[in-house]
Structure 1
Amino acid sequence: MMDRQDIDQLALRLASLVPPGLAQAHEDLRANFSDVLAQGLRRLDLVTREEFDVQTLLLARTRARVEALERRVADLEALAASRGG
């Protein structure tokens, strides 16, 4: 997720696009852009990079466990089939 510094940088870039005749409003626009961007991002259902990385790790562990269980089931099915069951 974007941190406050990223939001401020983006707001500054947006404010720099304001025509020179509105230079006195530059700082007000930058602050408003920053607030609007921050509010918009808060409304989105976003997770932090740390949360994403934790979930990725959990998914990888779960996938490995499922694959191991699938192999175990296949081995047990093969054993049962070889015993005539």
Structure 2
Amino acid sequence: MFDPKKLEQVAKQIHDAMPQPVKDLGADVEQKVRQVIQGQLNKLDVVSREEFDVQTQVLLRTREKLTQLEAKLTELEDKLSQQDK
């Protein structure tokens, strides 16, 4: 769901910002930071970029179809009102 490279960058930045004694606790500190970040991101109500792009395209096609149907309805209403005259 999230770009692993960006997650790695954030985890590395956090790890680099830690004081040296904390870094000395072990090599798995960065892994733990990454796990915490991933866990928190998973709790968010977000969608992937791919999902967003797909839904954007669906919305655009739906809007286009709605515009066509509105035009057709207007045309039919005009024909109906001309027949009533």
Q: Structure 2-normalised TM-score? A: 0.84
Q: Which runs of 5+ in 1 are unaligned?
A: none
User: Could you say what the CA RMSD is over the residues aligned between the two structures, in angstroms?
Assistant: 1.8
Contact 1:11 1:30 in 2 (8 A): yes
Quote the sequence identity (%).
Answer: 32
What secondary structure, in the 3-state scheme, does the structure 2 residue paired with 1:25 have?
coil
2:61 paired residue number: 61
1:6 paired residue number: 6
1:41 paired residue number: 41
Q: Distance in 2 between matches of 1:31 and 1:58?
A: 38
Matched length: 85
- Aligned AA (2:34): S
Contact 1:15 1:26 in 2 (8 A): no
What secondary structure, in the 3-state scheme, does the structure 2 residue paired with 1:46 have?
coil
